[in-house]
Amino acid sequence: QMSKADITEKSNGDQDHEESNQANTNITDSMPTKKENDTKNESPTTTSTTATATTVPNTATTTILSSNTEGDEAEKPMSKSQQKKRKRYEKLMAIKKRRKQQDKDAKIAKAKAEGRDLDAERKLQEERTISGEGRRKREERWQERMKSADTCFKICVDCSFEDQMTPKEIGSLSNQVRYCYAANKSSHNPVHLSVSSLSGTTYDNLTKVCGFPDQWRAFTCSDKSLLELHPEKSNVVYLTSDSDYTLEHLDDTKTYVIGGIVDRNRLKGLTTTKAKELGITTARLPIDQYLHLCATKVLTCNHVFEILLKYRELDNDWKAALLDVLPARKDITGISK
């Protein structure tokens, strides 16, 4: 049997042992294990890697979505109207290509029927181009045609109405000035062509044409007004369909002015009003005396210009000149006398 003192000593020993074990346990719990250290050391890397991995798929997803969107836009079906326009365009291009080939074949067939050697002609043309002989011959022919221009009437296009026209109308006027020059250059009897008050958008449009204005033959242009360019009022005649005077013949001492205006019948009487303000004589072409027009009698600048040229070429025959120039859409009927 154990005494009371032994029991007390043993109890105290057991209590000390439990406190020692508890202390060891607390120390062990507070110290990180190797696995936990490894986990902590690897944790930032793993997090960074995870974040990177997460970002890349998002970028890839965005790229894929963008590609799909572009593909959808590219593969977006056309509307019925767009399909019709596309078919019509392709049909016109096919017709144009076929006609071009037909014209080429017709020229070749005609040359062969006349016994011409096309290869030899092409070779000769290349030689003349290299030597400059072709240019010299064209220049000689042009100078020959221009001999009578100094003793002939002159034509001027007055472009002082640009501020009253729309951009589309100004574009049409620019083209009409080009047509006038082209008709004059190819004419057998060219005249001196001038353009007054040429500035703004009209001038800018013409500067896009190759060679304008320095290389244009028998052509002068200026931003000066009509009377500054042609100061002799007595020799200036303004052509307008609203005039009370009918032009019977062309006087070689006169300068005939064409109003550079494209108004789609919107600005009526504008050229007549300006001519009266400047004190210039007005006249209209003798259309009513020779032709019956179902359409409007207002003509484009280039049509008026070509009629004046043709009148001179066709021995002062108004009717022949009018019939030669005016388009068929005017529904022209000649008046027999």
Q: Which two tokens stand for residue 15?
A: 């209590």
Q: Which of 153, 255, 156 shows the shortest CA–CA distance to 198?
A: 156
Nearest residue to 223 (alpha-carbon basis) of 210, 209, 204: 204
The rounded distance, in Å, linking the Cα atoms of 304 and 156 is 11
Report the run of H or E that residue 143 belongs to, with start and end: helix 133-145
**Residue 218 is encoded by which pair of tokens?**
């028998």
**Under a CB-based contact definition with an 8 Å cutoff, are residues 256 and 280 in contact?**
no
Query: How do 236-239 and 255-259 pair as beta strands?
Result: parallel
Q: Which ranges in 191-286 belong to alpha helices (H)? A: 200-207, 226-229, 270-278
Take residue 216 and report the two structure tokens written for it. 């244009």
Spatial contact of 280 and 235, defined as CB atoms under 8 Å apart? no
What is the C-alpha separation between 318 and 309, in angstroms, rounded?
11
- Gap between the terminal Cα atoms of the chain: 169
Within the chain, what is the greatest distance between any pair of CA atoms?
A: 169
- Calculate the CA 208 to chain-centre distance: 10
Q: How far apart are CA 38 and CA 40, in angstroms?
A: 5
Matching residue, tokens 């210039």: 280
Three-class DSSP category at 47: helix
- State CA 165 to chain mean position distance: 19
Pairing of strands 154-158, 193-196: parallel
Catalytic residue annotation: 263
